[in-house]
A = this chain, B = another copy of it.
Amino acid sequence: MVRVGIIGGSGYTGGELLRLLLLHPEVEITQVTSREYAGEYLFRIHSNLRGLTNLQFDKPDLSKTIRLCDLVFLSTPHGVSSKLTPQLLDSGLKVIDLSADFRLRNPEDYPRWYGWSHPNPDLLKKAVYGLPELHREEIRKAQLIACPGCMAIVTILALAPIIKANLVEKEKIVADVKIGSSGAGAKPTRSTHHSERFGVVRPYKPTGHRHTAEIEQELSLISKSSIKVSMSAHAVNIVRGILSTVHAFLTEKIDIATLWKTYRSFYQNEPFIRLIRDRKGLYRLPDPKIVVGSNFCDIGFEIDNHTNRLVVLGAIDNLIKGAAGTAVQNMNILLGIDEKTGLNQLALHPM
Contacts and interface: CB of A to CB of B under 8 A. Distances in A.
A29 interface: no
A241 B237 CA distance: 12
Interface in A222-247: 228-230, 232, 234, 236-241, 243, 245, 247
A137 B136 CA distance: 51
Interface string A270-302: 000010101011110111111011101000101
A165 interface: no
Interface size class of A (residues with CB under 8 A): 35 or more
A254 interface: no
Given A44-B278, A207-B303, A239 B191 contact: no
A190 interface: yes
Contact of A306 (B208, B245, B249, B292): B208
A318 to B, nearest CB: 11
Nearest to A205: B302
A230 B189 CA distance: 34
A200 B288 CA distance: 7
**Interface hub of A285, A302, A304, A350 (most chain B Cβ within 10 A):** A350
A196 interface: yes
Contact of A203 (B180, B313, B349): B313
Contact of A188 (B45, B49, B190, B198): B190
Nearest to A176: B176
A234 B240 contact: no
A251 to B, nearest CB: 13
**Interface hub of A202, A207, A348 (most chain B Cβ within 10 A):** A348
A52 B197 CA distance: 23
B247 A176 contact: yes
A196 B282 contact: yes
Contacts of A171: 307
22 contacts: A19-B349, A48-B347, A49-B346, A172-B307, A181-B195, A181-B198, A182-B195, A186-B190, A194-B239, A200-B287, A202-B289, A203-B286, A203-B287, A203-B300, A207-B303, A212-B306, A228-B306, A230-B309, A234-B243, A236-B236, A240-B351, A351-B351
